[in-house]
């Protein structure tokens, strides 16, 4: 975890395996998705791992104890929130010069996949 903190303190975004992230999004669309397989995919990618743990430990989702396990973070966040994290990461990877536009693209992608119910 310290290596992830050192990397992010340099102001450089962590690399994202976009192909794996897209495959992960496809897993969410499968009604019989396997949580262990999703956790495995997230655990293999440093950026998704860091963003999942960071989101899980923020004021909205954070509990009384800090989460350091991806499986626990996935269970605490839920699939809808994870899908948003992954889609936003893909959007930011594709449009790094304009981070706001990247997350706007990701929000629109999530809204489309969830029937337009994702808030702006």
In the numeric block, which tokens belong to residue 93?
């990877």
User: In terms of C-beta density within 10 A (0-12 exposed, 13-18 middle, 19 or more buried), how is residue 88 classed?
Assistant: buried
Could you tell me the pLDDT band of residue 69, with boundaries at 50, 70 and 90?
A: very high
On whether the CB atoms of residues 8 and 14 are closer than 8 A, the answer is yes
Phi-psi region of 78 (alpha: psi -120 to 50; beta: other; left: phi over 0): left
Kindly list the domain boundaries of the chain, sorted by start residue. 2-113
Could you tell me the pLDDT band of residue 22, with boundaries at 50, 70 and 90?
A: confident
Could you tell me the pLDDT band of residue 64, with boundaries at 50, 70 and 90?
A: confident
Helix (H, G, I), strand (E, B) or coil at 42: helix
The pTM is what? 0.64
pLDDT score of 104 more than 80: no
């Amino acid at each position: 975890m310290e290596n992830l903190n050192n990397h992010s303190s340099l102001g450089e975004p962590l690399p994202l395996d976009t192909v794996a992230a897209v495959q992960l999004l496809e897993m969410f669309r499968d009604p019989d998705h396997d949580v262990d397989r999703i956790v495995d995919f997230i655990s293999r990618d440093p950026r998704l791992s860091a963003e999942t743990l960071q989101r899980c430990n923020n004021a909205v989702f954070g509990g009384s104890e800090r989460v350091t396990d991806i499986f626990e973070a996935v269970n605490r966040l839920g699939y809808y929130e994870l899908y948003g994290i992954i889609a936003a990461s893909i959007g930011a990877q594709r449009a790094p010069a304009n981070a706001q536009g990247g997350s706007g693209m990701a929000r629109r992608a999530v809204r489309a996949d969830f029937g337009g119910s994702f808030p702006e």
